[in-house]
Amino acid sequence: MPDLTELHVSRAIALLEEGRTMRYVGNDLGVAPSVIYRLWKRYRKTGEYSRRRGQGRKRKTTRLQDRYIVNCALRNRTTTARDLQNRLRTATGVEISDQTVRNRLLEANLRSRRPVRAVRLTIQHRQARRQFAQNYANWQLRHWRPVLFTDESRFRLTRCDGRLRVYRRPGERYSAAAVQQYDKFGCGSVMVWGGVSLDERTDLVVVPGRLCAQTYIENMLEDHVWPAAYGTGPDFLLMQDNARPHTAAITSDYLRQQEIRVMEWPSMSPDLNPIEHIWDLLDRRIRKRPIAPQTLQQLTEALIEEWERIPQEDIRRIIRSMPRRVVVKP
């Protein structure tokens, strides 16, 4: 049984006594349900949270060696348990299994997780994001109702490799050391454009080739954004990012002529746009299809079908998170 701290054990007992399942408790503490089963069995038999001193297998590492393992993992968040096992053997001559390494990291509240992928931000980007959050920090859900969130996204026939893992503590999901940065201008297979609001969505528009300002005006703004703005009324607000077709002079002229107000959006901030979660939802729906698309035409048809099948309530649920997204942290 992995060595759980007394705090972890007491929490496990409390959750079990509340009626939680062993699988739930195991997931909460990051251990197998069988570990929780043995812990619960011992507690019910002896009434004690932990083994008496001297019972059980002798610990293979000292506290100093435990600290060495943890420090190595914190210095290099993408290291593996096997690498840490080898480093400890080289430094101290102590032979332990990679599972023991994981146990020591778990004792320090370090768990292996998929890193959050985020675009690299400059100081200027960070300042602009903070200013945006401050501008809209007092907006309630009713203020977001007339906003149409739009964006383009690329969908691939095959997924990028996402096997990298990092060790992190609870609350470190978005810390710099636990985020996998990537280049946002990667290649794709099918590019689409769409817009969502609390009450409606646009059609999904397939972008043929490279998107230019003229295509954006004719295929997106005229055919989809303008009708949405006309139906919403003077409170309508368009959210678009700072891609060149969106900010080109002819695009700005068109929006001004049509009296379509545009929300000022900070660059490199896809995480602030709720439609990014809609793209993720759409991608997962594509991956769950019984027969995966094998050609670009099949992928295009699947994207349009699944876009129309997304429940509006799912879209509302995501947009309702906007007041939380713009909370300014000290």
For 101-106, what is the mean pLDDT? 93
* 111 pLDDT more than 70: yes
**Look-up: residue for tokens 């995966």?**
292
Q: What is the pLDDT of residue 249?
A: 97
Pairing mode, if any, of strands 166-168 and 111-113?
antiparallel
Burial of 77 (0-12, 13-18, 19+ CB in 10 A): buried
Q: How confident is the model at residue 233 (pLDDT cuts 50, 70, 90)?
A: very high
* 71 pLDDT more than 90: yes
> pLDDT for 152-210, tens place per residue?
999 988 654 455 678 888 888 888 888 766 544 344 479 999 999 999 999 999 998 88
* pTM over 0.85, yes/no: no
Q: What is the pLDDT of residue 186?
A: 42
Determine the Cα–Cα distance for residues 17 and 14; give it in Å rounded to an integer: 5
Q: What is the pLDDT of residue 52?
A: 54
Residue 309 near residue 281 (C-beta atoms within 8 A): no
> pLDDT for 19-54, tens place per residue?
889 989 888 888 888 888 888 888 887 777 655 555
Q: What is the pLDDT of residue 181?
A: 64
The residue ranking higher by pLDDT, 6 or 235, is 235
